[in-house]
Each structure stands twice: as C-alpha cells, then as structure tokens.
Amino acid sequence: MTASESIRVINAVFRIEQARLIAGLMRLVRDVGIAEELAQDALVIALEKWPENGIPNNPGAWLMATAKRRAIDRLRKHKLVKRKHEELARDIEAEEMITPDFAAALDDDIGDDRLRLMFIACHPLLSMEARTALTLRLLGGLTTDEIARAFLVPEPTIAQRIVRAKRTLEKAQVPFETPEGAELGQRLASVLGVLYLIFNEGYSATAGDDLIRPALCDEALRLGRILAELAPNEPEVHGLVALMEIQASRARARTDAGGDPVLLFDQDRSLWDQMLIRRGLSALARAEALGGEPGPYQYQAAIAACHARARTPEETDWPQIVRLYEALSRVMPNPVVELNLAVAIGMAAGPQAGLARVDALQAEESLKHYHLLPSVRGDLLAKLGRFGEAAEEFNRAASLTRNVRERAFLQRRAMQCAQME
C-alpha cells in the first residue's frame, strides 16, 4: 500500500470511529473540546505510525487506546484527581497492541456514550443551529463544509457555531448524562433533526466519490431505534424511525453496478429491502396509533410509505403524495419542501403544472446554490420537450453538486438532452 493509499484508509477509518472515540473519551475527561482534541491527537499518531507499521487488526480500538494514553499524559500534566488518573491507567495495556478483551471492553453497551454525547450537543444552552452543527461534527463525523451544505449556509458560519458551542458547554460544565422526564422531551426535537441530517448525508452524500455512505445511515438508524425505546410515547420519534427505515430500504436499488445514481422511477423494486419496509411501516403505524396532529417526520414517513407500497412506479398514489406534501408544508414551511411538492404536482397533474411551481422558487435565496432546483427544473423541461433548456439546467445542476457520481449523472442527462434538441 502506497503512502497516499494509507492516508486515505486512515482518514476513512477515523471518520467511521470518530464518534465512538469522542464519546468514550468524553465519559473520561468530561470536556467535549478536550475529547475531540484527544481523538485528533490519535489520528495524527496513526498517520505517523500506520504507513510504516501497517494498519492494526482493530484500528478503532488502537485509536481509542492511543487517545487514552494521551488523556493520561494530559491528566498528569494538569495534576487532576489521582483516583481518575489511576482509573484511566488501569484501562491501558502496557503493550503497544491491545488485547481482544480490551477491544471488546471499548464497545459501549448499545451506544450509551454516543447517545449521552448527542444529548449534550443538543443542550438547551445552545441555539438550535449550534446544537445541530455540533452533533453532526462530533457524532456524524461530517466536515464543516458538509454541514454548511446541509444547512445551505456559508462554511465560516458553521465553523463559528461549533467553536462557540464547545466554549458554552465547557463553561457550563454540562454533566455527561442522558436527560430524563420533562428535560428529555425538551431536547427530542433537536436530536431528531440532527439524526435526520446525519441520515441524509449518508443517503445522498454532498461530496466525494460515492453517492451513498451507508455507515452514516446505519448510525442514524441505530440511534433512532434507541431513541424510540427511550421515548416510546413520542409519535415523531417513531415517525423519524419509519422514514429512515423506508428510505434505507432502497439503498441497493439507488445505484447501478458502477455506483452511478438510479432515479426512483427507474429503480428495480425487487431490490428494495422488504424487511426494512416492514419495520418502517410498523413504526409509522406505531406513530399513528399514538394520535395527535402528525409532525414533519410522520408526514414524510407517510410519503415514503406511498412509494414503498407501490409495486410499480405507475401504481404510485401521486395525488395522495401531493396532499401529504401540502400538509407537510403547513407544519414545516421551507423551500425544499415546496420543491418536493412541485415534483409531486408534476407527477400528479403534469410537468407544466410542476414547472410553474418550480419557477416560483427561482428567486428563493436559500436555493441559489441548491443543485436539485435546476435538476428538477431540467427534468420537467425535458418532459415538455424543451430539451435545449433542459440541457442548460442539468449542466447548471452539475456545476453546483460536489458529489462526483451525481455530477457525472447530471452531465450525461445534459448531453442526452442536447442531442435531442
């Protein structure tokens, strides 16, 4: 393996293990900023040693052991409580390589550490924007650039939010624990929002060579299922789990053999994971049984269920999807929902009706750099036979996306439209 290949592998491993590292270290040092610094220190050491010595059999455990050694050094330097020093020291093996038993011990029970870390990152002391950005950074392992694209705001804004959030938590000395009772309910909305953003980044990566990052989807789903057990009487928790289960069911059909995107209408539905669909429909039924006015996740899950129940694309109940999007736009008004509503109207009432709704969004500032706006417009124009305009829109969409697969797909669509002009 070349040095550059080793660096790519190390960075990939760190991205997967980062949340576990920070959460485990947070339990020990009780400071989110220090925990992240220790995790970064372990990454630097891995970049120095792994290209020469080879990647360990259990890289995640190696990183944790290395980070804990750094924690001991920090504790010694700052002369913290002797009991904590000795407690940490007992966890570290004298050898460079750790034993299998120690590796197993590093695995927390159903992710409790990461869940506690999520509730800390979503503490009411922080603004909603700061909570989401910090949690995505610490638990989702997303870069500030990826978070900024998810929020449709400038990258420096996200970076400032994260730094300020860490300082606020450090100053307040927020306890490392899962909230209970009324406090649990207060934090659920922001936690659910963060989970869905993490899931979406895995479902459709904003940048890189792969359209899908399954590890992020799996992490969001895993934490969502845990939350559903912690808050069994919260309809929106089950709504979000239902939405993620049904969306995740399409993973195998969303790309072709070469890893390129396959549109929903063109997907081989025999590849959809029926077990995940059943789990999603069950979670949706559980949310509906709790009663009350549906929230955003329950409405989105109901939309996903319409697709999941259709055996063929032609059987999709588009009028019902339009009604659900209209209801969603009332409880969660934003331009992205309106864009999705335009797509549904285009399918239910024809491309001209859909295009009229899309054109009404052209002046929306938050969608100025959102590649799906010209992509949707290009699709509607192509259906109307306006291929030259469609090609321009697809090229514009390609210039806005940072995902390699998506860019190539949009460029091919632009070329196809240009040839039909």
Give me the domains of the chain, ranges plus CATH numbers: 3-107 (no CATH), 109-173+180-205 (1.10.10), 335-421 (1.25.40.10)
Q: In which residue ranges of the chain is pLDDT below 70?
A: 1, 3, 78-112, 150, 152, 208-211
Please name the residues in contact with 271: beta carbons below 8 A apart, sequence gap of 6 or more.
Answer: 250, 252, 253
Total-model pTM = 0.73
258-281 pLDDT tens trace: 888 999 999 999 999 999 999 999
CA-to-CA dists, residue 414 to 57, 195, 289, 307, angstroms: 46, 34, 46, 27
170-213 pLDDT tens trace: 898 888 877 877 777 777 888 898 888 889 888 887 776 666 77
Contact 116, 177 (CB under 8 A): yes
d(CA 46, CA 35): 17
d(CA 294, CA 235): 8
- What's residue 76's pLDDT? 74
- What's residue 90's pLDDT? 55
Alpha helices in 231-317 (DSSP H): 235-248, 274-289, 296-309
Residue 353: φ, ψ to 5°: -65, -40
